[in-house]
Amino acid sequence: MSFEWPWQYNFPPFFTLQPNVDTRQKQLAAWCSLALSYCRHHKLYTLDVMEAQESPMFNNKKIERKLSMEAIQVVFEELRKKGNLEWLDKNKSRCLVMWRRPEEWGKLIYQWVSKTGMVNSVFTLYELSNGDETEGEEFHGLEDWMLLRSLQALQTEGKAELFTMDDGKGVKFF
Amino acid sequence: MDRFSWSNGLLEINETLVIQQRGVRLYDGDDKAKMDLGVALLSTHRLIWRDIKNHECCIAMPLSQIIYFEEQAAGIGKSAKIVIHLHQVPANKEPGPYQYSKYSYIKLSFKEHGQIEFYRRLTEEMTKKRWKNTPVSQPIPTGTGSQAGKTRAVGIVGIERKIEEKRKETDKNISEAFEDLSKLMVKAKEMVELSRSIANKIKDKQGDITEDETIRFKAYLLSMGIANPVTRETHGSGTHYHMQLAKQLGDMLQAPLELLSPEDLVNACKMFESLKLPLRLRVFDSGVMVVQLQSHSEEEMIASALDNVSEKGSLTAEEFAKLLGLSVLLSKERLLLAEKMGHLCRDDSVEGLRFYPNLF
């Protein structure tokens, strides 16, 4: 299924950082939403900022408009404040994109665990993300770093406990 | 408008085109004529107007119909115009677009500028009255001389005459340009004499400086834009000079004939409200100052800006200026204001700065 662009994507002013504060707020909200949907659709978990500027996400070749580097940084800062983005380096050249926050993933995983009656069972991380049983679930294929954070979130809520085994990490659900 | 006759727009054998200008709307007296925008053409013999969209619609009037004409400067939201007062309808006039008109003047409204040049050329043609000499080149009577000699004389004399005319024109332009300067020099001379006299009196401790001299001196200082140093009056309390100036400006935005310093102009404008004049000095965020009619409310300007932009999809400051017949500076300020109010948003790219309706 191809990605559905929001109407703003074909509106040239969308690609100019608006000076009017109220207008800018709405503009940024739309950009955050677009960035997260795009990453979700293409299952992107990390972004390189330079590459992102050239990708269709920020560069609409049809109307010959693209977001400036300055504007992209503003959008990313908004995402960071909302908890959807984390910088991997001090130079802000690469970042993790959490189109779903760890807490949200944790909730999904726990739902599946309780639905399948697996509470009090133990899983390896690999089983959760790549096991046959989780095939078809949204969190199937989740990258390790994200899975770990999601489980850590559950751990904080007291719904799971992480532990280390010989060949990797495991988790028990309560 | 009942002085015009239908025309095919073609020039006669001896008729030459002098100037043409697009974007002209006709007025029957003070009322807009029933035609749309067109091209106004001035020839040596006639004033012609042709509809821009429908070329079949073409009307003309002989220049001899014109009694006199005057300029009407552009205003806010109004294009510059030329008002042309006309003789009575001649009995043998060919039919035209209007059978009858209660007015004996028309107006040409220049929506796409060009009024100044058109007016200048019209003045020239009405002075030269070339339509009276039907042949193209009038042989100058040289009295004696052979046929060949006569033709040659025409050529040379014609060229000489042109050179002489040009020289006179240049002279006139230069002397006009220096008129203001000579007025200033006269004033400066008076002031120099006065200050010399005062300086001498101070030096020689020769009697008191008369009150009259003091007043004259202060007046000169003021006219140069120097606020009165003795009494330290500021524009806030309003000097008499500024008040007078404000009143004059209020009348018809006509400044006195002397050169006016910018500070004086601004100070006078700041007094409009207190003097209950229907003009206001308005300062934009960028610092640009304009004088506008009090009736020009912000809401009206913004609403009309939004309408214009919505209609066209998007507009640059230049396009907007052209549309409304405003200066680019003023039209940009208006667009920025509408953006500030949240009605417009901007698209800033290599193609330039464009404004769109705020769809966010």
Domain ranges of chain A: 5-95, 100-171
Collapse the DSSP code of A62 into the 3-class scheme (helix H, G, I; strand E, B; otherwise coil) and give the result. Answer: coil
Average pLDDT of the residues in B312-319:
91
Hey, what are B72's tokens? 């009407």
Neighboring chain B residues of A6 at a CB cutoff of 8 Å: none
Residue B169 has pLDDT above 50, yes or no: yes
Could you please state the CATH topology (level 3) that the domain comprising A100-171 is classified under: Arc Repressor Mutant, subunit A (1.10.10)
Give residue B281's pLDDT: 81
Give the span between the Cα atoms of B231 and B240, in whole angstroms: 13
Average pLDDT of the residues in A52-73:
94
CB within 8 Å of chain B, chain A residues 16-55: 16, 18-20, 22-23, 26-27, 30
Give residue B158's pLDDT: 75
Which DSSP string corresponds to B247-283?
A: HHHHHHS---SS---HHHHHHHHTTTTTTT-SEEEEE
Tell me if B354 and A8 make a contact (CB, 8 A cut-off).
no
Residue B159 has pLDDT above 50, yes or no: yes
Condensed to tens digits (0 to 9), the pLDDT of residues B214-223 reads: 667 666 666 6
Among candidates A10, A70, A18, which has minimal Cα distance to A34? A10
Nearest chain A Cα distance for residue B347, angstroms: 4
Size of the A and B interface in Cβ pairs below 8 Å: 41
The pTM score is: 0.47
Same fold, A5-95 and A100-171: yes
- Whether B46 contacts chain A with CB within 8 A: no
Q: Which residue has the tokens 């040009």?
A: B166
Give residue B236's pLDDT: 45
Nearest by CB to residue A13, choosing from B340, B342, B356, is B356
Give residue A38's pLDDT: 94
> Which region among B26-30, B156-160, B212-216, B251-255 has the lowest average model confidence (pLDDT)?
B251-255
B51-61: buried (b, 16+ CB within 10 Å) or exposed (e) per residue?
eeeeeebbbbb
Contacts of B24 (CB under 8 A, 6+ apart): B37, B38, B39, B40, B49, B108, B109, B110, B111, B114
Neighboring chain A residues of B336 at a CB cutoff of 8 Å: none
Hey, what are B64's tokens? 């001899």
Give the span between the Cα atoms of B18 and B44, in whole angstroms: 7
Hey, what are B357's tokens? 């309706």
Nearest by CB to residue B342, choosing from A11, A12, A20, is A20
Of the two residues A155 and A141, the one the predictor is more confident about is A155
Give the span between the Cα atoms of B85 and B71, in whole angstroms: 12
| Residue of B309, B312, B339, B360 best to disrupt the A interface, most CBs of A under 10 A | B360
Neighboring chain B residues of A27 at a CB cutoff of 8 Å: 360
Neighboring chain A residues of B356 at a CB cutoff of 8 Å: 11-13
Tell me if B346 and A18 make a contact (CB, 8 A cut-off).
yes
Hey, what are B148's tokens? 């060949």
Among candidates B349, B316, B338, which has minimal Cα distance to A15? B349
Q: Give the confidence band of B136 by pLDDT, cuts at 50, 70, 90.
A: very low
| Residue of A23, A26, A33, A65 best to disrupt the B interface, most CBs of B under 10 A | A23
Average pLDDT of the residues in A55-82:
94
Condensed to tens digits (0 to 9), the pLDDT of residues B282-296 reads: 888 888 888 777 666
Which DSSP string corresponds to B59-109?
A: EEEEGGGEEEEEEE--BTTB-EEEEEEEPPPPTTPPP-S-S--S-SEEEEE
Give residue B235's pLDDT: 42
Residue B254 has pLDDT above 60, yes or no: no
Give the span between the Cα atoms of A168 and A124, in whole angstroms: 7
Average pLDDT of the residues in B77-87:
90
Backbone angles phi, psi at B21, to 5 degrees: -140, 125
Q: Give the confidence band of B145 by pLDDT, cuts at 50, 70, 90.
A: very low
One of 1.20.210.10, 1.10.10.570, 3.40.50.300, 2.60.40.10 is the CATH number of A5-95, namely: 1.10.10.570
Cα-Cα-Cα-Cα torsion A83, A88, A89, A95, nearest 10 degrees, comes to -70
Is the ipTM above a cut-off of 0.95?
A: no
Tell me if B347 and A18 make a contact (CB, 8 A cut-off).
no
Average pLDDT of the residues in B334-348:
91
Give the DSSP H or E segment for A138: none
> Which region among A9-23, B17-31, B142-156 has the lowest average model confidence (pLDDT)?
B142-156
